[in-house]
Structure 1
Amino acid sequence: MANRSSNTAAVPEAKGALDRFKMEVAGELGVPLTDGYNGNLTSRQNGSVGGYMVKKMIEAQERQMSGQNGMSGQSGMGGSQM
């Protein structure tokens, strides 16, 4: 396996949507995430954002796989489903 940074997007075209999704989740959790440097945040704060993002993406994928359409009443990655 090639040595790859974990900080690069597997699908570069999705970077903007993922960044918006990250900011949305941070807002929902009350984490003061900003564009740029966020070294003032704790590991717990950053981890909660990432963990909740993964949870929401898995839920969206499960809904899609089960045949349920849309994410009515819930926010998601810019209105798109994974």
Structure 2
Amino acid sequence: MARRLVPEAKQGLYKFRTEVAQELGVPFEEYNGHLTSRQCGSVGGEMVKRMVESYQRDLASRE
């Protein structure tokens, strides 16, 4: 079984996922079996895109 490296991050990621899904118009809930792979993938892809952009901004501000 995989262990979480930062258990406290679970709530933050849930909130982030919910915000992104809401902005994209994807109705995320506790159970998402009714959603298509494309809908779920769009939320995950947008989350990764935003995390990378945030990291890049942080790196640029350190220089």
- TM-score bin, normalised by smaller chain: 0.7 to 0.9
> Which one of the candidate residues 14, 21, 31 is aligned to 1:19?
14
Q: Tell me how far 1:27 sits from its aligned partner.
A: 0.5
Task: Give yes or no for the alignment of 1:39 onto 2:39.
Answer: no
Q: TM-score, normalised by structure 1?
A: 0.69
The aligned amino acid for 2:28 is: L
Q: CA deviation at 1:10?
A: 3.5
Unpaired runs of 5+ residues, structure 1, are 69-82
Structure 1 residues 9 and 18: alpha-carbon distance in aligned structure 2, compared to 1, 3 A threshold: farther
Shift of 1:9: 4.3
Q: Which runs of 4+ in 1 moved over 2 A?
A: none
Within 5 A, what are the aligned runs for 1:3-82? 4=2, 9-34=4-29, 36-67=30-61
Partner Cα separation in structure 1 for residue 4 and residue 16 of structure 2: 14
State the number of aligned residues: 62
Change (3 A) 1:40 1:50: same
Distance 1:30 1:9 in 2: 29
Kindly state the Cα deviation for residue 63 of structure 1 after the two structures are TM-superposed.
0.3
Which amino acid is the alignment partner of residue 15 of structure 1? K
CA gap of 1:63–1:23, structure 2 versus 1, over 3 A, is same
